[in-house]
Structure 1
Amino acid sequence: MSDFKIAGTGNRGKYERLLASGPAPRTLPAFDVHEVTQRILDRHLKTFQSSKRRQLVIMSLTVIGVLLFLYRVIGANTYTLQGCDTVEVGYQCQPEISHYWGQYSPYFTVPSGISTDVPDGCQITFAQILSRHGARDPTSSKTAKYNATMQRIHATALSYGNGYEFIKEYKYTLGADQLTTFGQNQMINSGEKFYSRYRTLALHTIPFIRSSGGNRVVESALNWTQGYHTSRVRDNPAKANKGYPYPMVIISEDEGSNNTLNHGLCDAFENGPDSNTGNDAQQAWAAVFTPPISKRLNKNMPGCDLTTEETIYLMDMCPFNTVASDTGAVSQFCALFTEDEWSAYDYYQSLGKYYGYGWGNALGPTQGVGFANELIARLTNTPVSDHTSTNSTLDSSRKTFPLGGSTSLYADFSHDNDMTAIFSALGLYNKTRPLLNTTIEDVRDTNGYSAAWTVPFASRAYFEKMVCSGDDEELIRVIVNDRVLPLERCHAGKLGRCKLSAFVDMLNFVRQGGDWDKCFV
């Protein structure tokens, strides 16, 4: 059995340490809760009061003879660099280029051809959110590489061209792995949004919450519950003292742990011949789109001789510095690249996800089979039938895996790679053709698939079950980042819904084990 803790039910050690770490700039209404939670909420309020959110308006004046500017957009394309709005639009960045940062994009509302409204005559009876953690600092390995790149530029650059001067004074201050304040706000907002969307159920229900054991994932889950509970108390102040902090199952990410929210058990996937498929696809595309960028960077910073890899790192500096900003300002690094180049960068990240964890990897979908079988169990109110990554001890207990009864809302928190595998196991993007690695394809070519559209920071998928007048069976609908996915494989109607039995039937790959037997060959 994997290690786990149920936060709020007597085993609070790890939960309390996470509550006591890291700022968050919003707070719940004043009410008496667990003393550890109250301390962190008080600190959150002070942080919020001292942080003045503002948008940085960049004016670009083209006048013969003189250019006055704060940021310079390189190339033919221009755009206005604004800020990341933390209230009005729900913790999203304003400039459209932020929608082309792959998995480093902050969550945004993806265009949907089908309305997300609950259809007339229907009532939601079940909702499951599967969420990625909020915006974070780079991983520890990447932050070391970014820091080394900046140090090398400072040591070798003979001069800095027009628009590059800020790099000379730039000091690398990004951390490693931890949520940023922006990322915490994303998750608070996500909890509020989930409550608002499923208010009829949420008024009377505390979601059953699970989190993969990584610190940033657990902290994201905690931030999410703050937003949810804030809304719940706003609707009914009598709920202020009811059950908060919410119980939470935290599933270990230690090596060898059975965890449907974090891959790691499938040996052939982790170390086999397909383990580098995603990187190979990215390198092929990088060889196509980065040379002109590297040439321009090296011209404006002579002496650096940036490599393809370092060029990508310099592009990475844009999203990471943006989501780490205390003012909400979009990073100056972003203006070093054109809109077309950001599109190419987004495709680079999409290739990594598709061929690393999606249908482009022979064992990618297999990594999502365990969660998919758990979802089937929740939708059908039947025991979990799975022999892949599920933890049989947890899933066989109604305490750690409740089914039916008063449990109609579920919230699970994970990582982008695992969500990509789960989406693949569920066949949600099965109509996407294998992505080309030498020619860019946009979301129209890929049937709505991209890393930014599927797994940005704080991404969320909703799995809904509803009863509708005139239908003799419950219906299923899937919404990813506010886009209703057309479920062609189960013959969804024009509103994107399938009958429950048809949805389960289409998951034959999942129910038959999803090639898990190939993991140990």
Structure 2
Amino acid sequence: MLRTFGAVWTALSSFLSLAPLPKFSPAHELAHDTFKLQQSWGVYSPYHAAEHYIPPPADCEISQVNILHRHGARLPTEHQTKDIHSGVKKLQSAEYYTDSRLDFLETFEYSLGENLLVPLGAIQSAESGKAAFQRYSSLITEDDIPFVRASGMSRVVETAKNWSAGFAAASDYTYTPKLSVIFDEAGLDPLQDDLCPNASGSHKEMSQWLAVYGPPITARLNSWAPGANLVDEDIHGLMMLCAFHTVASVPYEYNEGSPLPFSPFCSLFKPSEFEAFEYSSDLDKYYSTGYGARVGRVQGVGYVNELLARLTGSPVSDHTSTNSTLDSDPATFPLNHTIYADFTHDSIVVAAFATIGLFPTHKLSTTHPKAQRDWLASEIIPFSGRMVVEKLTCDRHDASDSYIRILVNEVLQPLAFCGAKKHGPWKGLCQFDAFLDSQEYARNDGNGDWEECF
């Protein structure tokens, strides 16, 4: 529990610039599993580990760790705020309410800010830093502490600093990582996704799915609020508000793993409707920087080529989104560290998944989602979600060899694309050279896809 860190709270507070927290009526009692609810908000779900960490085989030692980390829980963006305001104002304009679940709106005042990290984001990012120290402390020395970088948006920078504060506190302040590189998001930056002007968004696909699941919800809420005249587009905003309003209400004293204090907006929707809402995030990421976008996964090539450089101890070879000035300077792109931590946005993490070959998915239907699917945004890229690439040195058959394994939110990935075993103690381990060979798409700068960006 983070509050046992003591002095870390002083450090965390100095990293945050938060808008006043919202005031709202206590949430209605939810009739379904509250933990399941908070895991059905897609990319707005708080971090949760789907499995327990599996240590490497007994004959292996971890020699290098690379962490690609999404920022923590945040407030809505400007565009999301407009969508949210529309639905709230319409509901509050109703002549009267026919269902008591809307009564809180009579005194409700929307007071969320925009874009900024919230306390829950700070808590979970610091917990991530704590876990990293506890797991990989054997790799740390006074001369070799984690090398930390972040894309330049404030919530990403603050997440990186919170992670570093959690790492430092867990080491009893023996090791204090510094944020060494902050990328200017207006320039070349492998940790952000605004460098591909021809990239297509996912609005069409999300709209097609909203036309399937939205109308029954719209009709029900309009029957509860005569005169509100909600349209389907308002429903997505109100369901987002359930998530944003909830994560913004979490105090610093929150213990990670406890149920969240749910917003009253959450009780306006059924569990099955939140499952439909979750699928909107799946479609969003799949058709923006995932496998479903023509120039989606190429936006992860820059980071992956930097990853390969670190793993091989070689200069970066990339002609996409990387900053050659920074990557050619040992002060800003060293190759002699054992732990690297990069902080970014969800879209880049998704692009990196697709570049590497994780969660391979042929196509996502915009009208008939599969109940069982690997591409599940709430599992692969929640707030504070992370990918960890471990390089291992293993003794096998009287010889030493190097291997790679990848974990996403603690789940060991199968890595079938480079010959990893499916079962047993060596499950998920790829022989090092086989992994490098599997990354031909990145090593070839996206096989021409980068040029399609312009």
CA contact (8 A) 2:44 2:382 kept: yes
SS in 1 for 2:388: strand
Q: Which residue of structure 2 lines up, in the alignment, with residue 98 of structure 1?
A: 38
> How much does 1:155 deviate?
2.1
2:150 to 211, 227, 243: 211
1:187 to 116, 122, 125: 125
How many residues are treated as equivalent by the alignment?
431
2:405 to 469, 477, 481: 477
> How much does 1:153 deviate?
2.0
Q: Which residue of structure 1 lines up, in the alignment, with residue 171 of structure 2?
A: 232
User: Quick one: structure 1 residues 162 and 263, their matched pair in 2 at CA, closer, same or farther if it must change by over 3 Å?
Assistant: same
1:284 to 202, 205, 208: 208
User: Quick one: structure 1 residues 148 and 284, their matched pair in 2 at CA, closer, same or farther if it must change by over 3 Å?
Assistant: closer
1:71 aligns to 2:28 (yes or no): yes
Q: Once the two structures are superposed, what CA deviation does each residue of 1:452-494 show, in whole Å capped at 9, x if it has no partner?
A: 1111100011000111120642010000001111101101113
CA contact (8 A) 1:347 1:441 kept: no
CA contact (8 A) 2:98 2:223 kept: no
User: Quick one: structure 1 residues 38 and 246, their matched pair in 2 at CA, closer, same or farther if it must change by over 3 Å?
Assistant: farther
Partner Cα distance (2:168, 2:14) in 1: 18
Q: Which residue of structure 2 lines up, in the alignment, with residue 313 of structure 1?
A: 237
SS in 1 for 2:192: coil
User: Quick one: structure 1 residues 268 and 42, their matched pair in 2 at CA, closer, same or farther if it must change by over 3 Å?
Assistant: closer
CA contact (8 A) 1:368 1:422 kept: yes
Q: Once the two structures are superposed, what CA deviation does each residue of 1:149-195 show, in whole Å capped at 9, x if it has no partner?
A: 31232123432413221222221111100000111111110100111
Q: In the TM superposition, what are the counterparts of 1:128-143 in structure 2 within 5 Å? A: 128-143=66-81
Q: In the TM superposition, what are the counterparts of 1:378-389 in structure 2 within 5 Å? A: 378-389=310-321
| Aligned structure 1 segments of 4 or more residues deviating by more than 6 angstroms | none
SS in 1 for 2:181: strand
Q: Which residue of structure 1 lines up, in the alignment, with residue 296 of structure 2?
A: 364
Partner Cα distance (1:259, 1:450) in 2: 27
CA contact (8 A) 2:93 2:227 kept: no
> How much does 1:429 deviate?
1.7
CA contact (8 A) 2:12 2:122 kept: no
Partner Cα distance (2:281, 2:450) in 1: 29
Partner Cα distance (2:395, 2:325) in 1: 39
> How much does 1:232 deviate?
1.2
SS in 2 for 1:267: coil
1:258 aligns to 2:188 (yes or no): yes
Partner Cα distance (2:314, 2:342) in 1: 19
Q: In the TM superposition, what are the counterparts of 1:448-467 in structure 2 within 5 Å? A: 448-467=374-393
CA contact (8 A) 1:116 1:484 kept: yes
User: Quick one: structure 1 residues 520 and 121, their matched pair in 2 at CA, closer, same or farther if it must change by over 3 Å?
Assistant: closer
Name the stretch that deviates more: 385-394 or 332-341.
Answer: 332-341
Q: Which residue of structure 2 lines up, in the alignment, with residue 118 of structure 1?
A: 56
Q: Could you tell me the TM-score, scaled by structure 1's length? A: 0.78
SS in 2 for 1:149: helix
Q: Once the two structures are superposed, what CA deviation does each residue of 1:126-154 show, in whole Å capped at 9, x if it has no partner?
A: 00110000000001221233224312321
Partner Cα distance (2:167, 2:81) in 1: 32
Partner Cα distance (2:6, 2:178) in 1: 16
User: Quick one: structure 1 residues 289 and 41, their matched pair in 2 at CA, closer, same or farther if it must change by over 3 Å?
Assistant: closer
Q: Which residue of structure 1 lines up, in the alignment, with residue 338 of structure 2?
A: 408
1:268 to 195, 198, 202: 198
Partner Cα distance (1:38, 1:343) in 2: 35
CA contact (8 A) 2:149 2:343 kept: yes
CA contact (8 A) 1:268 1:518 kept: no
1:440 to 369, 393, 415: 369
> How much does 1:72 deviate?
5.7
Q: Once the two structures are superposed, what CA deviation does each residue of 1:380-416 show, in whole Å capped at 9, x if it has no partner?
A: 1111111000100000111100013xx1100000000
SS in 2 for 1:438: coil
User: Quick one: structure 1 residues 501 and 212, their matched pair in 2 at CA, closer, same or farther if it must change by over 3 Å?
Assistant: same
User: In structure 1, what residue type is equivalent to 2:239?
Assistant: M
CA contact (8 A) 2:160 2:179 kept: no
- Residue segments in structure 1 that go unaligned for 5+ positions in a row: 1-24, 31-36, 59-69, 82-94, 270-274
CA contact (8 A) 2:148 2:177 kept: no
Q: Which residue of structure 1 lines up, in the alignment, with residue 140 of structure 2?
A: 202
Q: Which residue of structure 2 lines up, in the alignment, with residue 84 of structure 1?
A: none
> How much does 1:41 deviate?
5.7
1:376 to 304, 308, 320: 308
1:324 to 244, 248, 257: 248
CA contact (8 A) 1:72 1:163 kept: no
Q: Which residue of structure 2 lines up, in the alignment, with residue 223 of structure 1?
A: 162
User: In structure 2, what residue type is equivalent to 1:370?
Assistant: G
SS in 2 for 1:199: helix
Q: In the TM superposition, what are the counterparts of 1:345-360 in structure 2 within 5 Å? A: 345-360=277-292
Q: Once the two structures are superposed, what CA deviation does each residue of 1:324-350 show, in whole Å capped at 9, x if it has no partner?
A: 014541112112211111111111111
What RMSD over aligned residues (CA atoms) do the two structures have, in Å? 2.5
Partner Cα distance (1:107, 1:410) in 2: 20
User: In structure 1, what residue type is equivalent to 2:369?
Assistant: I
User: In structure 2, what residue type is equivalent to 1:167?
Assistant: L
Q: Once the two structures are superposed, what CA deviation does each residue of 1:103-129 show, in whole Å capped at 9, x if it has no partner?
A: 0000111247xx622221111100011
Partner Cα distance (2:71, 2:341) in 1: 12
CA contact (8 A) 2:12 2:165 kept: no
Partner Cα distance (2:405, 2:178) in 1: 27
